[in-house]
Amino acid sequence: MNHSEIGQIRLNIASREWVIYAPSRRKRPQDFHAISSSENSKKVKKNHCPFCDLNETIILEMPSVDDRPWQTRVIQNKFPALVSKGKPQRTKEGIYLTMPGYGQHEVVIETPDHEQNLALMPIAEIEVLIETYHQRYLALMEDSSNLLTIIFRNYGEKAGASLTHPHSQIIATSIVPQHRRWTEEEAQRYFDRWGQCVYCDILSHEQENGQRIIGENETFVAFVPYAASLPFEIWIMPKEHQADFGSITPQEKTDFAHLLKDVLMRLYDKLNNPDYNYVINTSARYKAEEPQVHWYCQILPRLTITAGFELATGININPSLPELDADFLNS
């Protein structure tokens, strides 16, 4: 098997953490070299944008309801972290464990408009984006080899974005990372002790306390978590217990879209359009119906830099109290 083509996934046997080796991503374009704010620079970038002048096979397209050619498109990532070649079988290399870099890596092109900002999109377009996420999530989880499907968005250079055209990504993996297993196991321990979902209890307390709430509608709540790891971290969580993003209802998709737009608009207005990541944290396969796991969207503005102490200990230093962050976003 040629690992230079499909990559590898190797296990750090000291930490039980998997590492993905993706040689194809060494060729990935970097869109942020010598950024200029001039209109000419924007025009050049648009003329060379691979999402504006698409030559890739389209996996899913949401047709337009107006004069635009389409609403969202989903394609294979040209520089994938994982590829759907080979089989996800573990093999030994001396004392180590490895496997092919099996999985799927897709790009969701969120709009045909190269200059659009997700925070400023009409709500109808964000609703279509959430519908696109949901359809691809369900399709990818039909493959029994995929144990976890993660939907995420990198916005801005500090968040790891390499292209400016609005887009998200979806990666399906044949492994469940140690970080995810750890959070699932902690939730399991909490449930075994108290008979309650820890996330439902967090949500109930935040609603009762109210100090860190950013927004709320019929089915979702947005809040700065009590132990936020970064300044202005925000969770958007369904009120009803759901382990799996695939279980979201049509009404919940609409409500999620509305609250996501509201939160992103607050960050845009209050923090001057910061770089950020968001990720939909959902259950691994076989955990979808369990009572201790609860999916949610985690938004992480990139306002600080992770340095030596954080890397050495895994402990984040947050210079801003969550209560003050919530108060600022609500002002």
Same domain, 166 and 245: no
The answer on pLDDT for 138 being more than 70 is: yes
Residues 20 and 114 in one domain: yes
Cβ atoms of 6 and 85 closer than 8 Å = yes
Is the pLDDT at 209 greater than 60? The verdict is yes
169 and 190 in a single domain? The answer is no
Q: Distances from the Cα of 16 to the Cαs of 92, 176, 310, 317, in angstroms?
A: 15, 11, 19, 25
- Give residue-wise pLDDT tens across range 278-330: 999 999 998 888 899 999 999 999 999 888 988 888 888 899 899 999 999 99
Same domain, 157 and 285: no
Mean pLDDT, rounded, for 91-118 = 93
Q: Tally the domains of the chain.
A: 2
User: Of these residues, 105, 134, 165, 167, which one is catalytic?
Assistant: 167
Backbone angles phi, psi at 215, to 5 degrees: -165, 160
Instruction: State what percent of residues in the chain have pLDDT above 90.
Output: 69
pLDDT of 63 > 90? The answer is: yes
Write down which residue in 174, 203, 228 finishes a domain: 174
> With contact defined as beta carbons under 8 Å apart, do 168 and 108 qualify?
yes
Instruction: Inform me whether the pLDDT recorded for 36 exceeds 60.
Output: no
Q: How far apart are CA 297 and CA 222, in angstroms?
A: 9
Q: Is 46 helix (H, G, I), strand (E, B) or coil?
A: helix
Q: Cα(250)–Cα(285) distance, rounded to whole angstroms?
A: 22
Q: What is the pLDDT of residues 214-261, one digit of tens each?
A: 999 999 999 999 999 999 999 999 999 999 999 999 999 999 999 999
Helix locations, the chain, DSSP H: 3-6, 39-47, 123-140, 178-194, 198-209, 250-270, 308-313, 322-330
Q: Are residues 279 and 163 in the same domain?
A: no
Give the domain-ending residue among 154, 174, 194.
Answer: 174
Q: What CATH number does residue 12 fall under? A: 3.30.428.10
Same domain for 239 and 318?
yes
Measured from the Cβ of residue 162, the count of other Cβ atoms closer than 10 Å reads 14
Which residue segment(s) compose the domain that 68 sits in? Answer: 3-174
48 included as an active-site residue: no
Within its chain, how far is the Cα of 156 from the centroid?
A: 14
d(CA 49, CA 164): 8
Sign of CA dihedral 184, 189, 192, 198: negative
Structure tokens at 209: 């306390």
pLDDT value, residue 75? 97
Q: Which of 174, 199, 228 is the last residue of a domain?
A: 174
Q: What's the rounded Cα separation, in Å, for the pair 108 and 113?
A: 13
Are 156 and 276 in the same domain?
A: no
Cα distance between the two ends of the chain: 58
192 and 156 share one domain: no
| Pair 17, 166 in one domain | yes
pLDDT of residue 38: 37
Give yes or no for a contact between 236 and 259, defined as CB atoms under 8 angstroms apart.
Answer: yes
Residue 201 to residues 161, 208, 291: CA-CA distances in angstroms?
Answer: 34, 11, 12
Quote the tokens at residue 24: 């194809």
pTM: 0.90
**Residues 166, 279 share a domain:** no
**What's the rounded Cα separation, in Å, for the pair 114 and 109?**
10
